[in-house]
Every structure is written in structure tokens, then in C-alpha cells.
Amino acid sequence: MSSRPDSPVQILAPAKINLNLAVGPRRADGYHRVCSLMEPVSLFDRLVMKRRRAGGLALDGGGVPAAENTVTKAVLALEKLTGFRLDAKIELEKGIPVAAGLGGGSSDAATALKLIESTFGLKVSEAEMAALAFSVGADVPFFLKNGARLAEGAGEDLADVGCLPNHWIVLASPGFELSAERVYQKFDEMGGGDEMEFAGRSRRLHEDIAALGGFESLSRVIRNDLEPAAVSICSGVAELKQRMEEAGCAAVLMSGSGPSVFGLFPDSESARAAARRLRPRVPSVWVVRPLL
């Protein structure tokens, strides 16, 4: 991708879901160890960028002050790494709910990095970009590529898992935010993060991924260690799960630190039927597909 200084370019930033999230002990850097099966899905934010002749970065939109936005943090980190002044205006149009367990802020940061690198013709190695992305946020490296991947470490150690069994997703947001920091803190208070249990769940996830066959095998993989902590903070997560099950969602799970919840379906017809039943009772419902 290339651009004249006066020619705007745009790119979509996808959401993600955690099909499985095993959480272990807190690391010395403050992050928890994780072993998570993640995939990007077809719910998007949109970034529109226009190069400027001077003035550095200007960011509009996003729902939080520009100085606190992950896009700003990512671009400033890229400036520091390359020593190149990145004069650009970025408009961020949000389609992914904020603080919803769907990785919107992380995706925005990674997408901005890719957009800036390509548009300005920067030469940054894959390893340098991954390290820079992780300095912005634990989930940011995941969004540098498409496709389902297994995330370990604090999320920075990523491995491709190939094509998962075909599935459709009904994704629902209850219309309120839930702080990831608060959910992880509650997870610790509830005694989560046992080293032996985490090692066992991580090993089983590796084995389950290796044994994946049809849709039923995928639906048996889903698990989220943070869900009990999120439910204890906010009963609305459990209520949303119940509504989705009543609408016909069989494999239902909270994504990430919540409060968004998803259900898996083997085909579009059953997914769309469940979404129609949900929409009168849930503020935001989408039928999405994995991005390969």
C-alpha cells in the first residue's frame, strides 16, 4: 500500500474472540501467563489515515482522549523505533464495543502500525514490530496477522493453528463496559492462577487443538478461566449467557475479560435464527465469521 501525502487510505481493524482462555500466575511484569486459542472475526473498527506535511499525529474518534488511545501509543512508539516523524491524521470509527473483551483497542493499535508502516514505506522487521506491539498491549501482536492462533506467555508467543472446523458465531454485547484490570484482580482474589492447574489446562488445550475434527470437537474446546470472576463482579454476564442459551446457542462463552458473550453454530441459518430471537432482548447482536 502506498499513498500520496494528500490521499486518504483506510483499513479495517477486526475484533477477536477467545475460544479458550486458560489463565495462570501473575508474572513479574504484571501480566498473567495465558494459553489461549484466539481468532479474529468479522466485526470491525475502521481507520482512515491521511498524511500531513507537518504536525505529527492527530487522532480523531475512538471514544477516549487521543493521548490515552492505543493508536497514539503505537504510532509514537513506532516514531521512537524508526526515528522517522510520522505526520498523519487518523480518524477512528468504532464498530467494536469498548472494554468488551473483543480486543478493539489492541486491534486498532496493530492496524495503525501496519497502516503507518506501509504508507510511509518504513523498514521494520517482523521481530521488531512484534516487540513494539507487545510494548503497547499484550493482545496487540495477535492482530498483526489474520487467522486463528494459540497465544502463550502473556499473549506475545503466537503459533498458527491452521484452519479450524467451519463455524459461525453469534456475538452479543450487553451494552456496558467491564474493566479487564478489575476482572484479573478478582480472578486473583478468588484463588485463580494455580501453576499446576494452569499447566494441565494448557496441555489439554494443545491436545484438543491437535485433535480437532468437525464442529462438535470445536464446541467442546471452549472454556474461559476469567468467566467466574467476571460473573462475580457483574451478574449481567450470566444473564446474557442465559439469554443466548434460551435463543438456541449451544456452545456459549464469555470472550476475554468480558462482558461480551458468543455462541458457536455449524451453519449460517441456525446462527441467524438465534440472532433474530436475541435482538429484542439484547442491546447489540452480530452474526460474524472467523477471518482466515
- The C-alpha atoms of residue 174 and residue 266 are separated, in whole angstroms, by 24
Residue 250's φ and ψ, nearest 5 degrees, are: -90, -45
- The C-alpha atoms of residue 58 and residue 91 are separated, in whole angstroms, by 8
C-beta of residue 153 within 8 angstroms of C-beta of residue 28: no
Q: Which residue has the cell 503497547?
A: 136
Which residues are designated catalytic? 16, 139
